[in-house]
Amino acid sequence: MVDAAVRLVDRGRVFADEGYVVDGAAMGTASNPNPDRERVEFVVWNAVVDHPEGTFLWDTGSHPEAGDGYWPDPLYQAFEHVDAADHDLESDLDAVGYDRSDIDAVVMSHLHLDHAGGLRHFEGTDVPIYVHEEELKFAYYSAKTTEGSIAYLAKDFDRDLNWEVVHRHRHTLAEGVELYHLPGHTPGVLGARIDLPGETVIIAGDECYVDANYADEVPLGPGLLWSERDWFESLQTVKELERRTGGDVLYGHDLARFESFGDGWNL
């Protein structure tokens, strides 16, 4: 074990229909053909891994102008990041005691617009930006053609960035910090296992938006699911990591789960 710590960074709140993240959350039946739909509050977060080999940033959050036309209006109407303007990456890092210049590397769990909106802060620098090969391919395919997913914005990531491409299922970032390929939500989602003194943190990321995806194995809604078969296999990878390590599993957007961990681990 290395003397490392994980610090969580609150990047604001998104409101969206629960049906986007929990398949069948509001399905009609013969006796209740028009069930009430619920808009749920979700968290956007980043993390700082403070490690003897470097200070690593997990994801970069939404662009602060998400609600001012930076995000396409149909996407913002579906996923309303109500306080994006209050959550610029540099100010949020400062709030937890870090400066952008402290960051030695960035790990992108994937390149959707609520995760890649702060990459502009690393443009023209030599800071490595870790991303899975399949994610980088799919992001450009989506953003530059009419195919793929509408949740990628080229202006987030089509920049002068120092890409460090992860090609395989597992990649060691540093001692006790291992990245895992968890396709399903997108082709190239990355999660992580972080071994700290006396405890392990397992980042599932958007493989599991909320607890229902993990505990009840209910898939994401169809609009957020690239491949249900891959999603299920990736879920079993995360659950096996939890069984082997007894680690704490951190989901992609579950507000209650996020708040239960306070500031993070081993601080």
Alpha-carbon span 162 to 103, nearest angstrom: 13
Query: CA-to-CA distance for 102 and 258, rounded, in angstroms?
Result: 24
Q: What is this structure's pTM? A: 0.95
Sequence-distant (6+) residues with CB within 8 A of 146 are: none
Of 220, 215, 132, nearest in space to 171 by CA: 132
> Which segments within the chain are labelled E, that is strand?
5-17, 39-51, 54-58, 80-81, 105-107, 128-132, 162-166, 170-174, 177-181, 190-196, 199-205, 248-251, 264-265
Distance CA 244, CA 222 (A): 30
Compute the distance between CA of residue 240 and CA of residue 243 in angstroms, rounded to an integer: 5
CA distance 191 to 189: 7
pLDDT tens track for 197-224: 989 999 999 999 999 999 999 999 988 9
**pLDDT lower than 70: segments of the chain:** 27-32, 34-35
Q: What is the pLDDT of residues 39-88, one digit of tens each?
A: 899 999 999 999 999 999 999 999 999 999 999 999 999 999 999 999 99
